[in-house]
Structure 1
Amino acid sequence: MHFSGVCFGHQLLCRLLGAEVKPSPKGDWELGHSRVDLTPIGQKLFRTDDSYVHLHQMHQDHVVAPPTVESAKGLLPKGTKVYVWGKSKHTKVQGVYIKGKMFTTQAHLAFDEEMVKRQIEMRVEAGSIEDKDSEAADQAAETADLDHDGEVAAGAILRFFHDEDEDEDEDVD
């Protein structure tokens, strides 16, 4: 059985496996077009030699550290390798990969300029994004039209669901 989660789904699946999820230490948001630095497994999964991708973000909470076999309390077999495929300045666990089992991403792969701007607007109107975060919100709205790698990340997840990730974790530590 394969599991995948995006944003809250990423946080939920990691929490199910015993990882801690909480607001960022500064209480700030990661918004809009963001650089995500890829780990070696991330480069293999995304099939790129590039060391980073750009993805749209819209979150304040984050997974503090990836789940482990121990934290999963029997939900993961002994010896299971849990990988973090990417990190950003704001979020150290941008996604988790467990071969043949789970592929998550904090970023919103399908967001486009209109969606980013609307999500920011709704959060400002609701009071979720406060004055202290207004500069970040303005910056996110201004960069929402930039090219992002949502399709690259989606392709990696589709390969995962089609079991085309068979050797992706070989020789990666």
Structure 2
Amino acid sequence: MAEELEASAFRDRPVVRMMVLETDEPHSETKARRGTFGEIVHHHFLDAGNAHDPPLGIETDTRYVITEKGGTMPVYEDFENCHALLITGSMYSANGNEPWIQELLDLLKELWRHRPRMSFAGVCFGHQLLCRMLGSEIASAAATDWELGHTKISLTPVGQRLFKTDKPEVYLHQMHQDYAVAPPAPESSGGLLAPRTKVDVWGHSEHTAVQGVYIPRRLFPTQAHLAFDDGMVKRQIQMRVEKGSIQDKEHADRAAETGDLDHDGDVVAAAILRFFHDEGPE
């Protein structure tokens, strides 16, 4: 019944059709309460669509792509009716060479080359993987130097136009060790970016110079997370501490305590949805 009501609400709206590639699973408590990362993203963008003027519908096809853990990698033809693609965050390294990561990179390159009207977005791991695909160096900070928790991101003029704000910053939750050293550039993109393509950085923090990049109608990923709530922040940090990835436990504890602070995930989701709907600034 809920799906029928949702479909009815979209009937007279323009609809954005998005493929979400899940590159990890949330903590079991988060999954029980809010669903998979794909479901979390769908509902976050559903809210952004309802708030858009005029309202936009969102249709989401979700694929869990870690083939070594039972996932299935989509093929090029699966994107036939898809406007946009979003890659989730992950505990994996975007610099990794696991077979599924290599297969995903090959798919992304094929889509980038042959679907010039498709828009690409990503969160955290997804941001880094898209930058890697286009030739950026992805580096790892020291195990004690993660960017964690509620973080101020200073906006460039492009970022202010994307988010439709006069404020100099947004606040989002962070959870990463890897980072893009510099934005993609045509010279290092292996021919994926045409000469003179301008790639803008839309924001930076004290820790990470490239919090997101932007190419009109093509690319708009974010290093920070959009849909984290207090419970997710605490549980995702806990998972990484238990795994041994985060070694500075005092830093982890301080970051976990910022989980309930207000953040601008709704603002960023609205901007990405506008981008998917071809409304972004030139």
TM range (shorter): over 0.9
SS state at 1:128 partner? coil
Per-residue CA deviation, residues 126-148 of structure 1 (Å, 9 max, x unaligned), is: 11111xx2222111111110000
- Counterpart for residue 44 of structure 2: none
Question: Which position in structure 2 is the counterpart of 1:159?
Answer: 274
Partner residue, 2:255? 140
Larger radius of gyration: 2
Q: 1:92 to 1:26 in 2, by over 3 A?
A: farther
For 1:27 and 1:60, the matched residues in 2 are separated by: 9
Q: Which residue is 1:92 aligned to? A: 209
Q: Which of 105, 108, 114 is residue 225 of structure 2 equivalent to?
A: 108
**Preserved CA contact (<8 Å) 2:200 2:214:** yes
Residues 27 and 77 (structure 1 numbering): CA distance in 2 closer, same or farther, change over 3 Å?
A: farther
| Structure 1 position 71, deviation (Å) | 1.0
CA offset digits 1:121-173 (Å, max 9, x no partner): 1111111111xx222211111111000000101111000000011xx13xxxx
- Aligned partner of 1:109: which letter? L
Which residue identity does 2:263 align to in structure 1?
Answer: H
Q: 1:159 is paired with a residue of what secondary structure?
A: helix
Identify the residue that residue 200 of structure 2 maps to in structure 1. Answer: 83
1:62 match = 179
Who is 1:20 aligned against?
Answer: 137
Q: What is the alpha-carbon distance in structure 1 between the residues aligned to residue 243 and residue 163 of structure 2?
A: 35
> Secondary structure of the residue that 2:237 maps to in structure 1?
helix
Measured after TM superposition, the shift of residue 26 of structure 1 is: 7.4
How big is the shift at 1:78?
1.7
- Please list every run of 5 or more consecutive structure 2 residues that lacks an aligned counterpart in the other structure: 1-117
| Matched residue count | 165
Q: Alignment identity in percent?
A: 67
1:36 Cα offset (Å): 0.5
Measure the CA separation in 2 of the matches of 1:65 and 1:27: 22
Contact 2:122 2:222 in 1 (8 A): yes
Are residues 1:2 and 2:119 paired? Answer: yes
Name the SS of the counterpart of 2:132 in structure 1. helix
What amino acid maps onto 1:96 in structure 2?
Answer: V
SS of 1:105's partner is coil
Q: Cα RMSD between the aligned structures?
A: 1.1
Match of 1:50 in 2: 167
The TM-score with structure 1 as length reference comes to 0.92
Distance 2:249 2:161 in 1: 36
* CA distance in structure 1 between the partners assigned to 2:142 and 2:193 by the alignment: 29
Counterpart for residue 242 of structure 2: 125
RCO greater where, 1 or 2, for CA within 8 Å and sep 6 or more? 1
